[in-house]
Chains A and B, each alone.
Chain A
Amino acid sequence: MKYFSHQNVTSAKEGVSCAKDCNGKASFIAGGTDLLGILKDNLLPTYPEKLINLKTIEALAGVENLDGVVRIGALTKLSALERDLEITRNFPALASAAASVATPEIRNAATLGGNLCQDTRCWYYRYPNHMGGRMDCPRKGSGPCHAVLGDNRYHSVVDGKRCFAPCPSDTAVALAALGATVEVLGIEGAKNLPIEEIYSPMGTVLKAEEILTHIDIPAPPPESIQGFKKFTVRKPIDFAIVSIAAKVNITNGIVDGANIFFGAVAPQPYRDEAVESALIGEKFDTKSIAKAAGQALVKAKPLSMNAYKIDIARTLTVELLESFII
């Protein structure tokens, strides 16, 4: 890797002010499993002069239950999350999403915040610089999106705009279905926003000096059922081709609330209101599930090679929701 300097910080506030002092020439490093690959491949037109290490912020690692809201520090490792009793008991969708990421070695290093903020896996974007030069694209500030006329089998089928790379995060999909919000600390202080709002077609909306510090998940109603499923070619190491997270409330056999989010189909976890409304008010059974699944991604405008994702999304919907039937 090309040279960069390195600084440990012990609080998010210190991290923000350190980044501010660097005038956009620093990057934050958490688990590093995504960032170091980006730096090794020299993917971006800019290269950080400094890495600001967030792992030394002890306060941001761990899970705590605060009166009906579970607060997860962004530096919590995925391997810790998949084993945490609070998470496995009350948020199995998140535990399952965390456990589905990459490999045990990656999850031992990767953090929840990093999983949420990781850069896109678009294979044009990821073209390594030393193999003939990086490929420019709108996300890098210039050039066309190569995926539109190229090999877009893994790209977004909905909501893409200028860039058609889907959000690669598995945990984001689960957190969206669970109604989570994130806390972001910036120069002007902290703000909270729903998880799916940190994503835009061009990447996360976080500014260079902003740090995602916490993830807050409201306690799920006791009658709700939740889960996460991910379709990949292989179990380990693969990013989702399509994933789904759902939280469904059922009262007296009738669905009275449904959060259905798909992953790897859009720049953000994609809320599928068509599936949700097809479920709500219906008796929760295989028939209504099949009908709702048929609505999955009806608004999709697939590119030339990725319409198959819609079929997979519908299959996953059936599979996940049917697993909720006791």
Chain B
Amino acid sequence: MDSARQFRHIGKGTPRKDGRQIVTGGTKYIDDLTLPGLLYGKVLRSPHPHALIKNIDTAKAEQAAGVKAVLTHKNAPDWKFGIPRVVALLDKKVRYAGDAVAILAAESEELALAALELIEVEYEVLPAVYDIDDAMAEGAPVLYEEFPCNLLPTQSIAFGPNTLKEVILGDVERGFAEADVICEANTSYDNIPNPLPIEPPGVIARWDSPDELTVWSASQSVGWHRFMMMGKMGFPEIRSIGTQCGGSFGSKNHSPQPFFYAAALAKVSGAPVKMLYTKEEHFGAFVLRLGSRFSGKIGLKRDGTITAIEGEWLVDTGAFSDQAQTQIAVGLGEVQLVLRCPNWRLIPKLVCTNRAPSGIVRGFGGQELESSILPVFMEAISKAGLDPVDFLKKNFVKPGEGYLWREGNWWVSRGQDYSEAVEEGAKTFGWDEKWKGWLTPSSVNGRKRRGIGVGVHGNADVGEDESEAYVRLTPDGGAVIHANVAESGMGQRSSLIKMVAETLNLPLEKVSMTEPDTLVAPFEFGLTGSRGTWAVGTAVIRAAEEALKKLHEIAAPILKAKAEDLESADGKIRIKGSESQTLSWRRALGVFHTVTGHGSFEPDYSMPNFMMLFVEVEVDTGTGQVSVERVVAATDAGQIIDPPSLEGQIYGALGAAGLDTAVFEETVIDRRTGRNLNMNLIDYKWRTFEELPAFDNVILENPLPSHRFGAIGIGEISTSPGPAAVLMAVSNALGTRLTSYPLSPEKILAAVKSAGEVE
């Protein structure tokens, strides 16, 4: 780490502001909140993956003890969500096993559950589709009349009129003509894992008047429950308040279904309603990763230059698209960041199927696309006889090179060359010593074979979207940040406080931040795409700078100096470089005044970040077990704000539907009944303390032109390089190419057998 820059707080590991609350159990998550007269919402869910509700009788439920509101498609508010906006709050059609049929609110959870059993439903069962190909086939059952062959539009206006819906660049025919190696493949990353934060989603809604709604929720981006929902509900005034969020990984940016259910039940009952999903609902009716398949061909020169990429990117969104089109746009941008190529023809198709919907998950389209397309590249690189680290290092975007980004514009990177980070990472991992060539294990010990692999991911969304903040200086030498920032595990609230404390030269304990609340703070898009460090950071830093400037302007006449000649430390102002005269903020402001600065950030997609993950696995050829032994993550953060928080973001590579989606994570849908079979923490596999690989972080700190601290965020991308890296490592360990996720014991044993037969 670079120690040339000396900061008071930045770069040092400091306790999180919410630390004491967390370790004493004082932190309030959504289920820890209650309100007077609170009702509890519950959902009746469909047994069928695809059916029409022929008849629904709620009379008995309405009469049941403690029940205050019952809603079905017949009487629910006409609120719709999804892209396009076709997903009704409650519909007369159900599109996955577990889809909502009716909702009700009662005085207790027990009463609500008892009343659900009294609702009588008659279904007309329709045939269902679970697979991308089946869904697009002629005569396939159609989920939405509006979308023949279950093809949803890939176009959206989410990022403006030119939102990226395909990558068409250069001349692919010429590109293939120039290629030395051409590989054609059909590779999938379609095990639709679940990001599965420990806390299930939950929303409390209360109508303060017919047009004024207050919601409390576990959200990663609290503003979304205002600006993403108002238009879908006829523009009521919405105040969104965030509680501590028990993990999100994208999935709880917003929670449209629980939000709508709580808001609708609260409206009808006239009382506040809490809609907290059970873990099973979290598994089976909330947010899965997109299914993804690449079907096409790629061309390479012997030196590793990519000459052409052509194909279809088939995206399976499940029962409806929440953010699939935006993820497609970002995925199309990200794939260009890691696979530099002049000639592209990559066309996505977006397909809906009869399983629970996909939504936002860390990696946001890019992980899905790269995990499908990188295995094809592995085949091509191995045919070209190239080392994968060299190939990937050569092919991510360097400063001065360009790419189409999500909103359709061409951007030129003014960021970092991550080659140095890659080289450092390779050295720490011992890549050169362990690399024995393609489909060659790095070591063999009886049944146990080791192999290594590598993956890379990049993202230019670190500078996405808008942020605003106020910083208010108080006479006691303190500062309050008014910003709508949630705490969902990134430590971002504490990191922003550090940035402001550093800017104002105050001790950390003198800086605080308002609780996330759209009423209290100005516009904030939220903590998406790792934008917290640069985008939100810029807004709070500028607000602090402006506030300090105003304060110095007030102090200047008193100190008989120019404002620009003043500096401030620990709540005292003095002339720069002078030791003698200081003026306390209290004296400058007076006891009954504060001074407030405003800061903002505008989107800037010119600084892509990258992360490379090196992985060593051990494969037991007798049991089919894949064990991840070692991981090295290599990146450049520009400047580390808080070392443990940043390390945590990188360790997160293992969880949240990341690297482990190549090892054991998957959602198992029964192809005959549409039922999700592993909606529990035993059958859905997750990494435990007893299977922790050795994990080293190589984080360089070459300052970036972001803000005064030269930092950018990287948490979004840590999960993404893992799956393809593991696939490569296991393929090398076994000496046979594996192309499907996850690498379950049965797949490994089958591969061992077929390799044996070939030998």
Contact = CB atoms under 8 A, between A and B. Distances in A.
A47 to B, nearest CB: 11
Contacts of A234: 664, 685, 687-688, 690-691
Contact of A233 (B664, B679, B749): B664
Given A130-B45, A239-B682, A315-B623, A308 B670 contact: no
From A41, A135, A308, residue with most partner B Cβ within 10 Å: A308
B457 to A, nearest CB: 26
Interface stretch (A7-15, A16-24, A62-70, A145-153): A145-153
B209 interface: no
Given A233-B664, A233-B745, A241-B745, A121 B682 contact: yes
B678 A311 contact: no
A151 B97 CA distance: 16
Contacts of B668: 123, 151
Nearest to A134: B47
B672 A146 contact: yes
B558 interface: no
B746 A236 contact: no
Given A131-B285, A236-B690, A150 B670 contact: yes
Interface string B377-405: 00000000000000000000000000000
Contacts of B753: 311
B675 interface: yes
Nearest to A314: B622
Given A234-B685, A308-B624, A146 B679 contact: no
Given A2-B110, A237-B682, A308-B746, A132 B46 contact: yes
A138 to B, nearest CB: 16
Contacts, number: 111
A124 interface: yes
A236 B688 contact: yes
A231 interface: yes
B285 A238 contact: no
B21 interface: no
Q: What size tier do the contact residues of chain B reach?
A: 35 or more
Contact of A235 (B46, B677, B691): B691
Given A151-B668, A305-B746, A131 B691 contact: no
A133 interface: yes
Nearest to A315: B622
B366 interface: no
A280 interface: no
A324 interface: no
Interface string B643-676: 0000000000000000000001000101111011
B278 interface: yes
Contacts of A318: 622
B591 interface: no
A146 B285 contact: no
A311 B113 contact: no
Most buried by A among B114, B664, B672, B749: B749
A55 B102 CA distance: 41
Nearest to A42: B113
Contacts of A151: 668, 670-671, 677
A241 B620 CA distance: 15
Interface string A146-181: 100111010000000000000000000000000000
Interface string B739-753: 000001110011001
A128 interface: yes
Given A131-B45, A238-B682, A311-B622, A153 B746 contact: yes
Nearest to A241: B745
B594 to A, nearest CB: 50
Contacts of B624: 308, 311-312
Contacts of B676: 131
Given A308-B745, A308-B746, A149 B677 contact: no
Contacts of B664: 233-234
Contacts of B680: 126
A202 to B, nearest CB: 21
Interface in A40-89: 41
Given A146-B670, A149-B672, A235-B690, A133 B113 contact: no
Contacts of A128: 280, 679
B281 interface: yes
A110 to B, nearest CB: 14
Contacts of B223: none
A132 B746 contact: no
B623 A312 contact: yes
B336 to A, nearest CB: 36
Contacts of B478: none
Interface string B674-711: 01111111110101111100000000000000000000
Contact of B749 (A124, A150, A238, A311): A311
Contacts of A150: 670-673
A18 to B, nearest CB: 26
A321 to B, nearest CB: 13
A130 B745 contact: no
B307 interface: no
A132 B691 contact: no
A126 B681 CA distance: 13
A124 B678 CA distance: 9
B332 to A, nearest CB: 33
A41 B113 CA distance: 12
Given A127-B675, A146-B673, A151-B677, A235 B447 contact: no
Contacts of A241: 745
B683 to A, nearest CB: 6
Given A124-B677, A235-B688, A315 B46 contact: no
B98 interface: yes
Nearest to A127: B675
Interface string B243-286: 00000000000000000000000000000000000101100110
Given A233-B625, A236-B688, A132 B749 contact: no
Contacts of B47: 132-133
Given A2-B110, A235-B688, A308 B750 contact: yes
B72 to A, nearest CB: 16
A77 B249 CA distance: 38
Contact of B278 (A126, A130, A149, A319): A130
B673 to A, nearest CB: 7
Given A132-B47, A133-B47, A146-B673, A237 B681 contact: yes
Contacts of A238: 682, 685
B98 A131 contact: yes
Contacts of A126: 680
Nearest to B676: A131
Contacts of A121: 682-683
Interface in B275-304: 278, 280-281, 284-285
Interface string A108-131: 000000000000010110111011
A133 B116 CA distance: 11
B619 to A, nearest CB: 13
Interface string A293-326: 0000000000001101001101110110000000
Nearest to A126: B680
B675 A132 contact: yes
A237 B672 CA distance: 28
Contacts of A130: 45, 113, 116, 278, 280-281
Given A127-B677, A130-B45, A312 B745 contact: yes
17 contacts: A3-B110, A41-B280, A121-B683, A130-B281, A131-B98, A131-B675, A132-B97, A135-B673, A234-B685, A235-B688, A235-B691, A239-B682, A241-B745, A311-B622, A311-B623, A315-B447, A316-B623
Given A131-B679, A132-B47, A150-B670, 16 more contacts: A2-B110, A2-B114, A3-B110, A128-B280, A130-B113, A131-B45, A131-B98, A135-B673, A135-B675, A153-B744, A234-B687, A237-B688, A308-B746, A315-B623, A316-B623, A318-B622
User: What 9 A-B pairs have minimum CB-CB distances, sorted nearest first?
Assistant: A315-B622, A308-B746, A132-B47, A235-B690, A133-B47, A123-B677, A132-B45, A308-B749, A128-B280
